[in-house]
Structure formats: C-alpha cells, structure tokens
Chains A and B, each alone.
Chain A
Amino acid sequence: MKHLLSINDLSKAEAINVLDTAAELSRLSEGTVKKFPTLRGRTVVNLFFEDSTRTRISFEAAAKRLSADVINFSAKGSSLSKGESLKDTALTLQAMGADAVVIRHGASGAPHQLARQQWMTGSVINAGDGTHEHPTQALLDAFTLRRHLGQDAGDLQGLRVAIVGDVLHSRVARSNVLLLQKLGAKVVLIAPPTLLPVGVASWGAEVSYSLDAEIESVDAIMMLRVQRERMDDLYFPTEREYSRNFGLNLERINSMKSDAIVMHPGPMNRGLEISADSADSTRSVIVEQVANGVSIRMAVLYLLLSGTARSESNSTIEVGV
C-alpha cells in the first residue's frame, strides 16, 4: 500500500491491521512512550486547501509522535490562494522531498490526481476530498466502535450502525459505509430523500427516512454535520423541521439500546443535528473519537511509509534475518 486515497484501497485484512496497529500505539502512548523515532528524517507535508484545524492538528500530532518533520502548507495566505495549480504545488512538494503528503481539498478526487499523475513520488493520504471520502475518519470511527462494542480486536461483525443526516454531501458517510460494511457491520443510512444521493441503493446499506423507526435497534448512531446553507439550496424547509425529524435529542437517546453509543465527526452544529445535552451525554464518545484519530493517523503514516525504498528503487537490499 503506497497511498490511502479511499477505503477501497484497503482489504479487510489491511483495515484490521491499521486498527490493530493503532490499538497497540494507543496503548503504548497511554503508558510511558510519548514519542517514537520511527519516522526520523522523513518529511510529512500537511497540504490543506480547506480549513480544518482539527484534522490538521491530528495529523500533525501523529507525525510528530513518530518523529517526522512536519510542514504545514495551508491555502490561506499562500500561493495556493493565488491560483497556483495543484500540479505546481505537487511539483514544489516533490522538489522539497516530501515523503508523505496529507491532503485536504474541496474537489473530489484531488488526492487521486496528486497520486496518479506522477507529479510526485511520495505517499498521498486523503484527509478529506470534496464530497468523496475521508478514509482516516472512517478508520478512527471503526476503531472507536471496536473499542466500545467489540473486543478491541477483529472486525465489526454483528453491529448495526446508523449514519444520520447529510449523506449526499458527506465524505465521512461514504468512507464509513465502505469500511463498516467491509468489517462486517450493517449500516443504515437515515436522512430525508433530498440528502441521499441518487444511486445510493448500490452502496449495499439500508436506507430509511425515519430516525425514530431505527433508533431502538442500532448499536451506534453517527450524526453527520448539516450545513445551514443547505436550507437555501432547498434540501429541507427549515432548521426546525430538520431538527425535529433528524436531530438527536435526549429523548431519542433514551430510546436507544443500553450500551449504544453516539458519534459525531465534528465540528458539531449543536441544536441542529445534535442537541447540546446529547453531545455531552454519557453515551457520547465524540471526544474520544478525537483522541483515537491521532492513533489511527500514526498507524496509517507508519504503515504507508514502511518499505518505501523497495518500491522506489530497483537496487537489491540485503535484509538481515
């Protein structure tokens, strides 16, 4: 595995290996080890064309705990906002010797182009592209689910997970549908029909228009951020109506299974898709998702940056037994 562009790049075994690696790293980090020399001398570039402080900080912390050099490259105030093309940016990063580029971009598929156009040789990690995918978010969500509802090992067989809200525009939903199903979980997508993509039937997930009809039967509920601008694009009539039908509140939480958990990729719109008391309830694992994000990103960086010499050069390397 050279790049992580989509959950489709991972086999089930590889996905579980990411989770297992993250679990071990997380255990070590909780103990005494705060920093590993693993990626000493490697350069990880955070290339953020969209603002996302939390994802950038998470990747930065992960890279630093592995002793990589981190360069943050954000669109604001840089040449990126002055119309420099993705290609020129990639060529610049190549010249700087980036071993890995973590890219967040507003255009779906931008990381694929960075990886496939051969503008650069480093690994590309998709940190969210347009309305396409956000694979490390899905991995950290699966990790969190496994911790709470699995044995912190193996797959997610037998779980039923609801993803609620703006599925149409959500890269988190796309990656999660792919990963959770790959790991054996059942996914039910809950949204008004306007916020579900045409063609959603091919995803293999169940689709429901009613949160109340599903909430009692799920093991976890993943609330998606709903942008207020969507109202102007006629996806729903008013925030009030959206919230009434698809928002999570304490009453709904109380109807969930006793061990069911509440997740949200953040940032939250408190009062719209999730009420403040729901976000802060004991069922909520939202803060934990953030912590798990660092372990997952450490695992991804470690796994992607191992063995790269072999794929880059033809010279034979003697390996000691």
Chain B
Amino acid sequence: MSVVLNAGEINRALRRISHEILEKNHGSADVLLLGIPTRGAFLSKRIAGDINEIEKTSIPVGTLDITMYRDDLRMRPPRTLLPTEIPSGGIDGKHVVLVDDVFYSGRTIRAALDALNEIGRPKSVQLAVLIDRGHRELPIRADFVGKNIPTSKDESVKVHLAEIDGSDAVTIEGRDGK
C-alpha cells in the first residue's frame, strides 16, 4: 500500500477544485453541489465550505444516492440505500456539480445522471472528482479533477476521510495487497 496524497495535498486539491468551480460558473450563483455517498458527500461539504469561505456566501449542498440506478444489480449482493437529500430549492435551473471520490468506469456517474433526470432539469451538470484513475467504460469526463493517478485494473484506489476513516489520505494497493 502506498500513499499517493496526504492530508495537506487533499486539502489543496479540494481548494483548487473550489476555485475552478467558481471560475467556470462565473461565481457561485446558481451553483449546487450534490455529493455521491458515502465519501463524495463529505467531499462536497468540504468544497462547499471552501466556496463559502472564498465567496462569503452559502451555497446549497445535498447528496444523491445512485444505488437504485446502478446497472450491475445482478452481479452484486444488495447494497443498503444511502440517503438522498436534495436542497429545498430543487435542482431546476441550477448548475449542479456532482462530487465523487474516485472516478473510474464512469458507470456511477451514468447512474447519477439518470437519478438527476428523475429529480429535475438543471441548467448544466458538472463533475468534480478527487481522483481520476482512468479506465473509462463510458464517454464521460470530469470537469474538475484533484489528481490524475494512472493505475492498472488490478490495483484499487482508496480515499480515506477524517469524517469516517479517522484521517485523510489517498492510498493505492495492488491485488496482492502491496
């Protein structure tokens, strides 16, 4: 197991993503963050905190569980549903930024787009991820990336966050656990 990002690097990456979101959307007006549980939800709260601090505002943040929209239902044991919390103003007309920890096949984001479709019609949907490890299986790209980490399919990338894992770190380990 090797650490590819430490706590400080994670913080700096998130802060940079926050700036990029503001830059791309010309400020924070109509920006809404939706984190994909579990770790995407914590990341979205941190990004929102950064943006609020920079802009002296309070942007809406929510969560979007994509379990019921997955396309690999037959292949996995049932997952417990995680909460979906849509901010009270809804998503219509908003710039929705989906936030996830690791960007891989793209299937999670495909499911998230389907889930959004049920909820409303945003002005735009953007994607922010802490890690992009490649191996896309769908034509989906991220708008904001904390760090690109080339991996092999045998490896697994894990994001540890203080909120649930005790401390911040991004690690990578091979199939043999090294």
Contact = CB atoms under 8 A, between A and B. Distances in A.
Direct A/B contact, Cβ within 8 angstroms: yes
Given A307-B74, A321-B157, 10 more contacts: A24-B84, A32-B118, A32-B120, A36-B118, A37-B114, A38-B73, A306-B79, A307-B76, A307-B77, A310-B77
Interface string A75-110: 000000000000000000000000000000000000
A285 interface: no
Contacts of A306: 73-74, 76-79
Query: Which applies to chain A's interface (DSSP): helix, strand, loop or mixed?
Result: loop
Interface in B40-89: 65, 68-70, 72-84, 86
Nearest to B117: A37
Contacts of B118: 32-36
B157 A21 contact: no
B68 A36 contact: yes
Contact of A36 (B69, B75, B80, B105): B69
A303 B82 CA distance: 14
B86 A317 contact: no
B156 interface: yes
Interface of B: 65, 68-70, 72-84, 86, 102, 104-105, 107, 114, 118-120, 156-157
Given A37-B114, A320-B105, A25 B81 contact: yes
Contacts of B104: 320-321
Contacts of A250: none
A210 interface: no
Interface string A31-50: 11111111100000000000
A319 B72 contact: yes
Contacts of A321: 102, 104, 156-157
A308 interface: yes
A20 B81 contact: yes
B108 to A, nearest CB: 9
Contacts of A25: 68, 81
B75 A28 contact: no
The list of the 5 closest CB pairs from A to B, nearest first, reads: A306-B78, A309-B74, A24-B81, A36-B68, A307-B77
Nearest to B74: A309
Nearest to B84: A28
Contacts of B69: 36-38
A33 to B, nearest CB: 5
Contacts of B86: 31-32
Given A24-B83, A31-B86, A308 B74 contact: yes
A303 B78 contact: yes
Q: How large is the interface on A (under 10, 10 to 19, 20 to 34, 35 or more residues)?
A: 20 to 34
A17 interface: yes
A302 interface: yes
A274 interface: no
A305 interface: yes
A34 B68 CA distance: 12
Nearest to A35: B118
A108 B60 CA distance: 54
A113 B72 CA distance: 30
A33 B107 contact: no
Nearest to B155: A321
A309 B81 contact: no
Interface string A166-205: 0000000000000000000000000000000000000000
A305 B104 CA distance: 26
Nearest to B65: A24
Nearest to B115: A33
B159 to A, nearest CB: 11
Contacts of A34: 118
A300 to B, nearest CB: 11
A192 B71 CA distance: 53
A244 to B, nearest CB: 47
B75 A309 contact: yes
Nearest to B82: A24
Contact of A319 (B65, B75, B102, B114): B75
10 contacts: A24-B81, A32-B120, A33-B118, A37-B68, A38-B69, A307-B75, A310-B76, A319-B75, A321-B104, A321-B156
Contacts of A28: 84
A21 B102 contact: no
A28 B104 CA distance: 27
Interface in A3-59: 17, 20-21, 24-25, 28, 31-39
A33 B80 contact: no
B73 to A, nearest CB: 5
A21 B75 contact: no
